[in-house]
Structure formats: C-alpha cells, structure tokens
C-alpha cells in the first residue's frame, strides 16, 4: 500500500497528558476502528530487548528480562541523542505495522483513526486529516504528574520533547477540547464525529 492510500485514515494526535487515550475509547464506543501507534511501539520494543541492551545498556533490563520502561523513559526524555537512537529504530517498524493494519481498515471504505502522538513532529505519514486533542500546558503538566507519578521537572521534560500543543492545534483539521470534565469531552467527540461523517 502506498502512503497516499491512507484514504479513509484520520490521524489522532495531541500532546502528552492531553487525554488521547480517553478520546480514543470514546471513538471506539461510537464504532470507530483505531490503530494505536503507542501500543504497536510497546509490542515492537518488547520483541527487541537485545536492541535496548546493546544500545542503552544492561541497566535498562529488569531481572526478569523485560525492559525497565520507566528507567528508559527517564533517559530518552532527558537526552535528545538517546531519544533519536530509539526513534530511528522504532519509527520504521511502527510505520510498517501501521500500513499493514491500514490496508485491512481501508477495505471498509469508512473513516478510521490512527493514533500517532508524534504525527506533526515526524511528518512521517501522508494522512490528510487530523484531530488534535487539546489541553492547556498547565493541565498537561498536572495530569502527567498525577498519572505517571513523575516529578515536576521530569513531566516538563516530556512535554518539552514534543511540539507545543498550541502549534499542533493550529495545524489540525479538527480540535477536541479536553480542558473540562468527561461529559464535556464526550460532547466534543460527538461534535467531531458529526463533522467527520458530513465530509
């Protein structure tokens, strides 16, 4: 499948802590098919433990032979060079897996979502439409600290590693506002679904 054949795909993106996973679940409830790049990334990484061992060192492997994701996360979000090594290895494999799944979803000839956190950063996918899940940087920080138990400094590093959320918002086809409660978020998802199905 050629990249320009993401005919029915819509990229779902946002920033860390903006609430993409919750939005994704709402879309699934409304019958949308979703390809999750993060999920694929986790699967691919767990199949390539030797790469982590050789590239980053034995200290990033737990005693049971699994990857210490928290420790690896701390490294790659505080070191651009190390992050690039991981991205250069993972991104082509993730893309291959996404294309394989997209080939199946395209056959249904109806919109589906590809959840790609770094959609605008990598410019790696020729997908014409995008949805940005928006939350203020203050809310992002608060949510990451609560969710991941990170320090203020660690959380800020992770936000800083991505494109500014307001810049992403400006590039989006559709914006879902996630600055309020779940009820409001559901209404935002319904509004965007209405707009998608009109096109």
Tell me the two tokens of residue 14: 């946002």
3-state secondary structure of 138: helix
pLDDT for the residue numbered 1: 47
Res 4 pLDDT > 90: no
Average pLDDT over residues 112-135: 95
Which pLDDT does position 5 carry in this prediction? Answer: 73
Residue bearing the bigger pLDDT, 1 or 108 = 108
Q: What is the pLDDT of residue 2?
A: 53
pLDDT score at 198 = 79
Q: What is the pLDDT of residues 29-73, one digit of tens each?
A: 999 999 999 999 999 999 999 999 999 999 999 999 999 999 999
Q: Is the separation of the CB atoms in 123 and 114 below 8 Å? A: no
Q: Cβ neighbours of residue 34 under 8 Å, at least 6 residues apart?
A: 12, 24, 27, 28, 112, 113, 114, 115
pLDDT at residue 119 is higher than 90: yes
Q: Which two tokens stand for residue 42?
A: 């986790």
């Amino acid at each position: 499948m050629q990249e320009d054949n993401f005919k029915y795909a819509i990229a779902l993106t946002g920033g860390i802590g903006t609430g993409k996973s919750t939005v994704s679940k709402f879309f699934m409830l409304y019958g949308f098919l979703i390809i999750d790049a993060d999920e694929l990334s986790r699967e691919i990484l767990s199949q390539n433990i030797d790469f982590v061992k050789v590239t980053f060192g034995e200290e990033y492997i737990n005693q049971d032979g699994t990857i210490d994701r928290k420790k690896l996360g701390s490294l790659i979000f505080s070191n651009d060079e190390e992050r690039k090594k991981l991205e250069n290895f993972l991104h082509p494999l993730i893309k291959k897996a996404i294309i394989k799944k997209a080939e199946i979803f395209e056959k249904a000839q109806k919109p589906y979502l590809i959840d790609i956190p770094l959609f605008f950063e990598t410019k790696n996918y020729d997908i014409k439409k995008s949805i940005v899940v928006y939350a203020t940087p203050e809310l992002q920080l608060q949510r990451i600290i609560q969710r991941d138990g990170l320090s203020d400094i660690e959380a800020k590093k992770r936000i800083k590693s991505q494109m500014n959320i307001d810049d992403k918002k400006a590039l989006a086809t559709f914006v879902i506002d996630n600055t309020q409660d779940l009820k409001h978020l559901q209404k935002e998802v319904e509004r965007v679904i209405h707009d998608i199905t009109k096109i």
